[in-house]
Structure 1
Amino acid sequence: MPSARFPAKRRLPRVRSSPAEGRWRHSREAGLEPDVLVIGGGNAALCAALMAREAGASVLLLEAAPRAWRGGNSAHTRNLRCMHDAPQDVLVDAYPEEEFWQDLLKVTGGITNEHLARLTIRASSTCRDWMRRHGVRFQPPLSGALHVARTNAFFMGGGKALVNAYYRSAERLGVAVRYEAPVDRLELKDGHFVAAHLRGGERIAARACVLAAGGFESNRDWLRAAWGQNGRGEWPADNFLIRGTAFNQGVLLRHLLDEQRADGIGDPTQAHMVAIDARAPLYDGGICTRIDCVSLGVVVNREAHRFYDEGEDFWPKRYAIWGRLVAQQPGQIAYSIIDSQAIGRFMPPVFPGVKADSLPELARRLGLDETTFMQTLSHYNAACRVGHFDHTTLDDCHTEGVSPAKTHWARPIEAAPFYGYALRPGVTFTYLGLKTDHTAAVRFNDRASENLFVAGEMMAGNVLGKGYTAGVGMSIGTAFGRIAGANAAAAAMKRGARHAGA
């Protein structure tokens, strides 16, 4: 029986050839091996590959996905949370280090490594010029995202454009790229990287390696083992949807933790988990499936009861708690309820909501018990103390005498037509990962490897013990991708010089 941390392995597609692979095979036939091997194909992996190449190292990047699906979850992103002490092009006002740190401290509940968190924060203030040099362009936020105009820099064209820009830059600089090249295991000696073994049995040696192959959010067996069975006899993970790539199976993460006994960090049930439209696809639904109207109305579970404060804080700071909240409800489903007053105040999702001219009709159309639903809405409406409604501030509209309270943006739901959205937990990425330090080195028995480094989702749990705030995943991936790439290049050069002198 697989454990929560280490479930049984899952088969992935076989390795297939590509033009990039053909070029690399030619160099192998000439007796060449890369200085730096990067395993992964998203933002963190690409940052590592680019930094290593800029430092003079030869680099091979292995992406498990086909070319059309390259980029992992990074293809679904849209912005980067950035520290800045004054207005900077697309960023308004200031977002100083201490405020960024306090935001992160609040959402993680203190489950974070302050040293690595502050390293990430400081790095976010200096990375954008480097990103521009590699073809990334930024734009002001769209009207539906003005509430993060001060804290987040948006990519022109979104994450897919960012990923494509990085791949173009990598190819221009001479980084070799292979697609459909999943790595099954690593060959290590006393914590030192020796070689990677691909699914088909091919062995690739290198002087240094960067691991940036993502978490295990796409591995249903692992999610099921981690979450287990709840008191209602349900397996919550069976109802999870995956917001991003189907290729993040956690194969290398499990191999490092289980077989190689690398130092791990994090809870396997903690993740960036968002409440998304229940009609979303199993994989790769992306940001357009997120339901952003939660703070403008109420959320009820399958039994038509409210279960959490919908107005606790600004949506960018709290949206990533709602997937976990829904996962804890009966059937892992909930319903976001709004009225016509909310329309135009949130980013519309890809699917229209269920529409009704009355609340009883909405209950029936959603399949909820009409009597209980009307009691819940009546109690909420009567409890609302409406002051000056302003969704851009922590306003004074709140409830009194109802539990759970709604602490901001509380207005009676009374203006027809009414809308309802069925919600499911949408997993973005998991937080169980490899323990690291400021060098991005993988650690074994609390000792840093000299030539094996980690970046992105595989180490994000060092900074994110739980919770999330918009754009910080890209901040972590960019910071540690660049650190890992630079240090891998230095390690490769050091090992090369040592061998040359032998």
Structure 2
Amino acid sequence: MSTDPDVLVIGGGNAALCAALMAREAGASVLLLEAAPREWRGGNSAHTRNLRCMHDAPQDVLVDAYPEEEFWQDLRKVTGGKTNEALARLVIRASSNCRDWMRRHGVHFQPPLSGALHVARTNAFFMGGGKALVNAYFRSAEALGVRVRYGSPVDRIEMDNGRFVAAHVNGERITAKACVLAAGGFESNRDWLREAWGQNPRGEWPSDNFLIRGTAFNQGVLLRHLLDDHGADRIGDPTQAHMVAIDARAPLYDGGICTRIDCVSLGVVVNRDAQRFYDEGEDFWPKRYAIWGRLVAQQPGQIGYSIIDSKAIGRFMPPVFPGVKADSLPELAQKLGLDEHSFMRTLDGYNAACRVGTFDHTSLDDCHTEGITPAKTHWARPIDTAPFYGYALKPGVTFTYLGLHTDDTAAVRFNGVPSDNLFVAGEMMAGNVLGQGYTAGVGMSIGTAFGRIAGTNAARAARVTPTGAHHAHA
């Protein structure tokens, strides 16, 4: 018979693992339930590459400085102010001092790659990527005595007046003195996405054309259960998500980072009608790449086409699949299935509007358009040098932002009252910091900060539980 743990952690990604490790380090017995089988463990964290880090001076793998205020302004800009400043700053500060702890648990960082633009200043990259990070954390957790069970999706939890009592998994009831919810968003739940996004005026169901960049296991079962059945306080809009324009040929699930198309800022993007619809040169790609999924989702058929010429080759991370290649723009239109006349009108108009100054993809340069809408404000150069390339784009959902409202203790709240033994971390609460938009690596910053807070506070709650409140295993 297994004794029920002091702390139950539900989830198997970065936030869940950080919580399990911190609770175990604080002396609590810990059981971690991962819905996925062992080979698919780690949720979306397995697809990540880096962590956005505040630092006031150069630090190991980070160059220059990235002070708190600049990080905050970057976040404020991408979220359009839809963020809780106190919690955002808590995440930012926590990002400055977590790397030594991560290293102690076997995570290795790599020196910045050349050509990674200026990301080496703001983001620390994991050696071996997110899969290596997740594997390191699981190894460390098991070595410390955290029990891990795979293929264990929790379908409901029992609550008593705002207190966690038990979780039900595969017909078994598991009690614990405290619990951390870190089971991800609802991005893999096709029905919920359809319900959230609804139908557009064209009669389309946009979400039917979404691809899921990450795990197929984030069904949002616990999130919905907490919101609908237990009346937990919610935060965020169900249509807001980390959404990227990805290769339309990507698989439905788990395509991950390699499905990204990173040449948007070096060319133009047109929709099915061969019309441009947004400023491709608005800001540096790491700050703006995550708006393009939503932009494409709003276009007819939820499809776009990134168009570049050979001047762009070598200036962006090459995609896994080669683009459609043509020796002339009319031929490219034909190969992409776009109306040649409309396509040429758009491209000719754009090319004529380019005012080329000193092109510099590493700075907000002076190459811009004049007299067309939408403008291209930086990196605007005529698309005129064969061969030409086109990449079809679809919206790729990384994770959803609807979540549980929390505070600096990571407690789940019911009618404004924080639970004293139920905590939340990761995607299930990221909407407190991310009301909209995204900037590279901040999801891992949120998961790491709140995972560690949740684990620490769950261990504390497990110690102060009154005797008699902890029921024996049925």
After TM superposition, the structure 1 = structure 2 runs for residues 46-445 of structure 1, keeping only pairs within 5 Å, are 46-198=17-169, 200-445=170-415
CA distances 1:83-115 after superposition (whole Å, capped 9, x unpaired): 000000110000000000000000000000000
Shift of 1:495: 0.8
Q: Which amino acid aligns with 2:75?
A: L
Q: Which amino acid aligns with 1:100?
A: F
Per the alignment, in what secondary structure is the counterpart of residue 118 of structure 2?
helix
Shift of 1:132: 0.1
Is contact 1:219–1:250 with CA below 8 Å preserved after alignment?
yes
Q: Which amino acid aligns with 1:390?
A: D
TM-score normalised to the size of structure 2?
0.98
Distance 1:283 1:145 in 2: 26
Which of 435, 445, 454 is the aligned partner of 2:424? Answer: 454
* Backbone CA RMSD of aligned residues: 0.9
Shift of 1:498: 7.8
Distance 1:346 1:80 in 2: 21
Shift of 1:146: 3.3
Per the alignment, in what secondary structure is the counterpart of residue 322 of structure 1?
helix
Q: Which amino acid aligns with 1:178?
A: R
Is contact 1:389–1:396 with CA below 8 Å preserved after alignment?
yes
Q: Which amino acid aligns with 2:373?
A: S
Q: Which residue of structure 2 aligns with residue 485 of structure 1? A: 455
Distance 1:433 1:407 in 2: 35
Per the alignment, in what secondary structure is the counterpart of residue 150 of structure 1?
helix
Shift of 1:496: 5.8
Q: Which residue of structure 2 aligns with residue 44 of structure 1? A: 15
Question: Taking structure 1 as reference, are residues 499 and 379 closer, same or farther at Cα in structure 2, changes over 3 Å only?
Answer: closer
Shift of 1:151: 0.1
- 2:465 matches 1:495: yes
Per the alignment, in what secondary structure is the counterpart of residue 170 of structure 1?
helix
Is contact 1:207–1:496 with CA below 8 Å preserved after alignment?
no
Per the alignment, in what secondary structure is the counterpart of residue 117 of structure 1?
helix
Per the alignment, in what secondary structure is the counterpart of residue 156 of structure 2?
strand
Distance 1:373 1:175 in 2: 58
Which of 443, 448, 468 is the aligned partner of 1:473? Answer: 443
Distance 1:92 1:432 in 2: 34
Per the alignment, in what secondary structure is the counterpart of residue 143 of structure 1?
coil
For structure 1, list consecutive stretches of 5 or more residues without a partner in the other structure. 1-25
Q: Which amino acid aligns with 1:133?
A: R
Q: Which amino acid aligns with 1:70?
A: R
Q: Which residue of structure 2 aligns with residue 19 of structure 1? A: none
Is contact 2:62–2:112 with CA below 8 Å preserved after alignment?
no
Q: Which amino acid aligns with 2:107?
A: V
Shift of 1:140: 1.9
Is contact 2:186–2:400 with CA below 8 Å preserved after alignment?
yes
Shift of 1:142: 2.5
Shift of 1:69: 0.1
For structure 2, list consecutive stretches of 5 or more residues without a partner in the other structure. none
Is contact 1:78–1:155 with CA below 8 Å preserved after alignment?
yes
CA distances 1:197-235 after superposition (whole Å, capped 9, x unpaired): 11x211000000000000000000000010000000000
Distance 1:496 1:273 in 2: 44
- 2:446 matches 1:464: no
The percentage of counterpart residues that share the same residue type is 86
Shift of 1:145: 2.0
Shift of 1:368: 0.2
After TM superposition, the structure 1 = structure 2 runs for residues 3-42 of structure 1, keeping only pairs within 5 Å, are 26=1, 28=2, 32-42=3-13
Is contact 1:51–1:486 with CA below 8 Å preserved after alignment?
yes
Is contact 1:192–1:449 with CA below 8 Å preserved after alignment?
yes
CA distances 1:349-390 after superposition (whole Å, capped 9, x unpaired): 111100001000000000000000000000000000000000
Q: Which amino acid aligns with 2:82?
A: I
Distance 1:258 1:145 in 2: 43
Distance 1:153 1:312 in 2: 24
Number of residue pairs the alignment of both structures matches: 470
Per the alignment, in what secondary structure is the counterpart of residue 194 of structure 1?
strand
CA distances 1:64-96 after superposition (whole Å, capped 9, x unpaired): 000000000000000000000000011000000
TM-score normalised to the size of structure 1?
0.93
CA distances 1:313-372 after superposition (whole Å, capped 9, x unpaired): 000000000000000000000000000000000011111100001000000000000000
CA distances 1:231-283 after superposition (whole Å, capped 9, x unpaired): 00000000000000000000000000000000000000000000000000000
Is contact 1:455–1:484 with CA below 8 Å preserved after alignment?
yes
Question: Taking structure 1 as reference, are residues 114 and 224 closer, same or farther at Cα in structure 2, changes over 3 Å only?
Answer: same
